[in-house]
Structure 1
């Protein structure tokens, strides 16, 4: 059952590497794609996804991760913020992660 709500947030400098890692795990392109900003104007990127707890355990295992993630991309994982909520509400998890990190979504204005 996909009942583990996972929020990921990464500083702008590491966005491309984290998205490449997501692709290596078969998650598709440009997963971390919600633009975020902090009070000092620093840009971050975030996403939410649903996981099966057993799949997340495999993803977060350091030894197994080393078999999938190339050495040149691995340092980006040190900057990845993850907030997990089992059987929780995705929107609640997302809003809590933003609040805990002092971030807000960047709303692009359209004309």
Structure 2
């Protein structure tokens, strides 16, 4: 059952590396595609996805990550913010993540 709400947010400098990692896990292209900004003007990228808890446990296992993620991409994961909510509201999880990090959506240009 896909009942684990997962919010991921990354600073702009690490977006491409984390998107490459997501592709290695067959999560598709350009997952971190929601442009965010903090009060100082720094850019971040975020996404929300639904996971099965058992699949997320495999994805987040450090030993298994070492087998999947190339060494040159691995340091980007240190900058990845993840917020999990089991059986909760995806919108509440997303908004709580933005509030915790002091981020807001970048309006379309």
TM-score tier by shorter-chain length is over 0.9
Q: Give TM-score scaled by structure 2 length.
A: 0.99
1:61 corresponds to 2:40: no
- The within-5 A match list for 1:9-28 is 9-28=9-28
Q: Give TM-score scaled by structure 1 length.
A: 0.97
Inter-partner Cα distance in structure 2 for 1:57 and 1:29: 21
Question: Equivalent residue for 1:104?
Answer: 104
Inter-partner Cα distance in structure 2 for 1:102 and 1:46: 13
Spell out structure 1 runs of 4+ moving beyond 6 A.
none
Provide the aligned C-alpha RMSD in A.
Answer: 0.4
Inter-partner Cα distance in structure 1 for 2:36 and 2:7: 13
Q: Which consecutive residues of structure 2, in runs of 5 or more, have no partner in the other structure?
A: none
Superposed displacement of residue 107, structure 1: 1.2
Inter-partner Cα distance in structure 2 for 1:88 and 1:70: 33
Question: Equivalent residue for 1:45?
Answer: 45
Inter-partner Cα distance in structure 2 for 1:95 and 1:37: 14
Inter-partner Cα distance in structure 2 for 1:2 and 1:27: 14
Inter-partner Cα distance in structure 1 for 2:62 and 2:103: 28
Q: Which consecutive residues of structure 1, in runs of 5 or more, have no partner in the other structure?
A: none
Inter-partner Cα distance in structure 2 for 1:53 and 1:41: 34
Question: Equivalent residue for 2:8?
Answer: 8
